[in-house]
Amino acid sequence: MTNPPSDAPSDAPSDAPSDAPSDAIVFFGATGDLAYKQIFPALLGLVRDQGLHVPIIGVAKAGWSLDQLKARAADSLSQHASRQHGNGDAGATQRLMDLLRFVGGDYTDAATFTQLRSALGDAKRPLHYLAVPPSLFAAVAGGLAGSGCAADARLVIEKPFGHNRDTARALSRLLAQTFPEASIFRIDHYLGKEPVQNILYTRFANSMFEPIWNRDNIGSIQITMAEDFGVQDRGRFYDATGAIRDVVQNHMLQVLANLTMDPPTGEEHEAMRDQKAALLKAVRPLAPMDVVRGQYAGYQSVAGVRPGSSVETYVALRLFIETWRWAGVPIYIRAGKKLPATATEVTVHFKRPPRETFDEIVPANSGHMRIRISPDVTIAMGVRVKLHGERMIGEDVEMILTEQVADLMLPYQRLLWDAMRGLGELFGRDDIIDAQWRIIEPVLDDVTPVYRYAPGSWGPAEAEALIGPDGPWREPRLMAAKG
């Protein structure tokens, strides 16, 4: 475990967490939207694929019953669970229902946690999942500590991890009063995605990439996260958050770290996160000149959005990493809603040869490596090949190295299984979270103007000016449907 940020607390609990797997799952917010869309399907996957057989206790407001929770779970599974296993889900569904328990009460009431301790029975090492707003973290952590439910327990919390750097550090200090850092799992479902892990695997399992993965051969990098839908029914949440906090501070910077970090060294369990932390600490904090914010027309009519809101639904960024490997290489990130497609894609653009041997005009971004993260998984290499005929002229082609459907294991299933076993590699660490906030904090809120853009477009025109000669932005090409 690495040291916390310099002004983080030093009074964390001293008892080292047990290496034994968790023997119960407790999820707060059991009747909420996150549980409905993500947690119940993930729990079904754990029961079906990993043989999970520990008590699963849902905690929510009073007024619900166990039967109502089971009905909610069944409806969730019918709407959101994977159909990959066909009728094989029926037995697993029944086993999941048999494992479910329910505790109802107020999170600020000590009696709720007394009931929870009773419901845990003989369980000694529970995993507590806080699928609740961050404003309730303090109440839940305090209730767990006061009832004895925190001893030898693990804690999973959902983003956002604070609203800015100061509040993120305050959250770390709060949690450290009850849980050691090794027992805190800050979940970012992007890190549980198979194609995000595949970035690391492809880089470090193939020796051909390492010699060219640097400033001498790479001219620029683009990362695009596009969504063709709007904020839907999340207007109130989104208007307090915006695109930078919602997806850049976490998802996009984690993708950037996987793409540009140095190889992990040694066998130390924290080696991977150590390298991620070192990379993110080397990213230059953003300046206003490196940011373009946009808002799609019609956003302000969404329920929950403030009149005259200047919150961004689109952002384009230009980043630099202050290391020898990446000095001078611009990295462009854009993320937005109401764009023409829903896809997340990375493109690494290689530099052109030092001179054009065949005296032709070649696009600057002719050679590239393209990594699709969603909705399908694709890795492709762009190269230039000669056209048929006597003339020495060519065309750009792309070789598809792999093209697959989306990963079969749900990200939350993978992450919860890792958390139960105390494996923190795919979770945020306090110094990593602090480094991510350090990068974006100078451009939070209204530091830069917000430009309107038409739904179905690729965002405001100002984003093209940001990328300039390193452009144009590469539009994701979706995998053709297979019959």
Q: Rg for the chain (alpha carbons), in Å?
A: 24
As given in the structure block, the two tokens for residue 194 are: 């198979």
How far is 162 from 436, CA to CA, in rounded Å? Answer: 11
DSSP state of 399: E
DSSP label at 50?
S
Look at residue 450 and give its three-state secondary structure. Answer: strand
CA angle 261, 424, 110 (to 5 degrees): 140
User: What would the pLDDT profile of 260-283 be if each residue is shown by its tens digit?
Assistant: 999 998 777 789 999 999 999 999
In angstroms, what CA-CA distances link 317 with 14, 136, 222, 376? 41, 32, 10, 25
| CA 58/CA 31 separation, integer angstroms | 8
Number of H helices, E strands in the chain: 15, 15
Give the whole-angstrom CA distance, residue 380 versus residue 189. Answer: 24
Among the listed residues 331, 339, 348, 349, the one whose alpha carbon sits nearest the alpha carbon of residue 478: 339
pLDDT of residue 282: 98
Query: Do 424 and 415 meet the contact criterion of CB atoms below 8 Å apart?
Result: no
* Exposure string for 437-469, b = 16+ CB within 10 A, e = fewer: bbbbbebbeeebebbebebebbbbebbeebbee
Provide the pLDDT for residue 8: 42
Full pLDDT tens readout for the chain, 483 residues? 444 444 444 344 444 456 799 999 999 999 999 999 999 999 999 999 999 999 999 999 888 999 999 999 999 998 887 554 444 578 999 999 999 999 999 999 999 999 999 999 999 999 999 999 888 998 999 999 999 999 999 999 988 899 999 999 999 999 999 999 999 999 988 888 888 888 999 999 999 999 999 999 999 999 999 999 999 888 998 999 999 999 999 999 999 999 999 999 877 778 999 999 999 999 999 999 999 999 999 999 999 999 999 999 999 999 999 999 999 999 999 999 999 999 999 999 999 888 888 888 888 788 999 999 988 888 999 988 888 888 888 888 888 888 776 656 789 999 999 999 999 999 999 999 999 999 999 999 999 999 999 999 999 999 999 999 999 999 987 654 443
Whose structure tokens read 């000590």?
Answer: 110
**Second CATH level (architecture) for the domain 24-187:** 3-Layer(aba) Sandwich (3.40)
Give me the pLDDT at residue 389, please. Answer: 86
Residue 222 belongs to what H/E stretch?
A: strand 218-226
pLDDT at 193: 86
CB count within 10 Å of CB 1 equals 16
Model pLDDT, residue 368: 93
Cβ pair 218, 212 in contact under 8 A: yes
Please pick, among 128, 251, 349, 368, the residue that the annotation labels catalytic: 251
DSSP assignment string, 145-209: HHHT-STT-EEEEESP--SSHHHHHHHHHHHHTTS-GGGEEEE-GGGG-HHHHHHHHHHHH-TTT
427/430 Cα distance (integer angstroms): 10
On whether the CB atoms of residues 246 and 188 are closer than 8 A, the answer is no
Whether 80 is catalytic: no
Closest of 287, 320, 313 to residue 443, by C-alpha: 287
Helices (H), 16-109: 33-34, 40-49, 66-80, 89-99
**The residue type at 315:** V
Residue 402 CA: distances (Å) to CA of 187, 218, 459: 28, 22, 30
Answer whether 24-187 and 191-410+434-470 agree in fold: no
Q: At 275, which helix (H) or strand (E)?
A: helix 271-281
pLDDT for residue 482: 40
CA-CA distances (angstroms) from residue 221 to 218, 267, 289, 314, 373? 8, 30, 18, 19, 15
Q: Which amino acid is at 409?
A: M
Residue 409's pLDDT is 77
On whether the CB atoms of residues 319 and 290 are closer than 8 A, the answer is yes
Which residues does 211 contact at the CB level (< 8 Å), separation at least 6?
none
* Residue 342 and residue 479 in contact, taking contact as beta carbons nearer than 8 Å: no
**CATH level 3 topology of 191-410+434-470:** Dihydrodipicolinate Reductase; domain 2 (3.30.360)
Total Cβ atoms within 10 A of residue 334 = 25
Cis upstream peptide for 375 (omega within 30°): yes
Structure tokens at 31: 């009747």
**Where do the structural domains in the chain lie, given as residue ranges?**
24-187, 191-410+434-470
